[in-house]
Chain A
Amino acid sequence: MVVRRRNPLRSVGFLVLILIIVIFSLFPFVQMLSTSLKYPRDWGNPSLIPERINTSAYKELLGIGLPEPDLNAIPESVRNLLEESDLSDEQRQQILARYVDTGDIFPFPRYFRNSVVLSGIAALLSVSVAIFGAYSFSRLEYRGRGYVQRGVLLVYMFGGILLLIPLYKVAVGIGLLSTPTGTFVALLVVYMVQTLPVSLYMLGNYFRTIPFSIEEAALIDGLDRLQTIRRIIIPLSTGAIATVYIYSFMIAWNEYLFASVFLKSFQEIYTLPLGLRALFTSKNAIWDRIMSASMLTSVPVIVMFMAVQKRLVGGLSAGGVKE
Chain B
Amino acid sequence: MANGHAAAVRTLSPKQQEARLGWYLVAPAIIIIGGLIIYPIVYNVYLSFFDVSLSGDNTFTGLRNHVRVVSDPRFWNAVWTTVIYVTFSVMGTVVVGVVVALAMNREFPLRWLVRSIILLPYVAPVIATVFAWQFFFDPVNGLFVHVLVEVLGVVANRFNLIGNPRTAVIVAIVFSIWKNFPFAYLMILSRLQAVDETLYEAAELDGCNAWAKFRYVTLPELYFILGSLVLLRVIWNFNKFEEVYLITDNVRVLSIYTYLTAFTGALDLGRGATLAVIQFILLMGFILYYVKRVLKW
B85 within 8 A of A: no
B8 within 8 A of A: no
Q: Is the CB of B29 within 8 A of A273?
A: no
Cα(A143)–Cα(B183), bound, Å:
34
Chain B 21-45: CB-based contact to A (< 8 A → 1; otherwise 0): 1111110111011001101110110
Q: Is the CB of A129 within 8 A of B269?
A: no
Q: Is the CB of A297 within 8 A of B128?
A: yes
Q: Is the CB of A133 within 8 A of B37?
A: no
A313 within 8 A of B: yes
Q: Is the CB of A306 within 8 A of B135?
A: no
Across-interface contacts of A257 in B (CB, < 8 A)? 241-242, 259
Q: Is the CB of A155 within 8 A of B33?
A: yes
Cα(A100)–Cα(B200), bound, Å:
65
Q: Is the CB of A15 within 8 A of B276?
A: no
B238 within 8 A of A: yes
Partner of A273, one of B125, B186, B190: B125
A22 within 8 A of B: yes
Within 8 A of A (CB), among B239-275: 239-242, 245-246, 255, 258-259, 262-263, 269, 272-273
B117 within 8 A of A: yes
Across-interface contacts of B54 in A (CB, < 8 A)? 169, 172
Across-interface contacts of A105 in B (CB, < 8 A)? none
Q: Is the CB of B33 within 8 A of A197?
A: yes
A118 within 8 A of B: no
Cα(A163)–Cα(B32), bound, Å:
14
Q: Is the CB of B114 within 8 A of A161?
A: no
B106 within 8 A of A: yes
Q: Is the interface of A mostly helix, strand, loop or mixed?
A: helix
Counting chain A CB atoms within 10 Å of each CB, which of B32, B140, B245 scores highest? B32
Across-interface contacts of A276 in B (CB, < 8 A)? 127-128, 131
Q: Is the CB of A291 within 8 A of B132?
A: yes
Q: Is the CB of B143 within 8 A of A46?
A: yes
B159 within 8 A of A: no
Please judge, given known A-B contacts A24-B178, A321-B183, whether A140 and B25 are in contact too, CB under 8 Å.
yes
Across-interface contacts of B283 in A (CB, < 8 A)? 157
- In angstroms, how far is the closest chain B Cβ from the Cβ of A61? 13
Chain B 186-216: CB-based contact to A (< 8 A → 1; otherwise 0): 1101100000010011001000000000000
B residues touching A (Cβ–Cβ < 8 Å)?
A: 1, 15, 18-19, 21-26, 28-30, 32-33, 36-37, 39-41, 43-44, 47, 52, 54, 99-100, 103, 106, 108, 114, 116-121, 123-129, 131-133, 135-136, 140-141, 143, 146-147, 178, 182-183, 186-187, 189-190, 197, 200-201, 204, 232, 235-236, 238-242, 245-246, 255, 258-259, 262-263, 269, 272-273, 276, 279-280, 283, 287
A-B contact list, 16 entries, CB within 8 Å: A18-B114, A22-B117, A25-B121, A32-B132, A140-B19, A148-B30, A152-B33, A161-B258, A162-B41, A190-B36, A254-B126, A256-B241, A276-B127, A301-B125, A313-B186, A323-B240
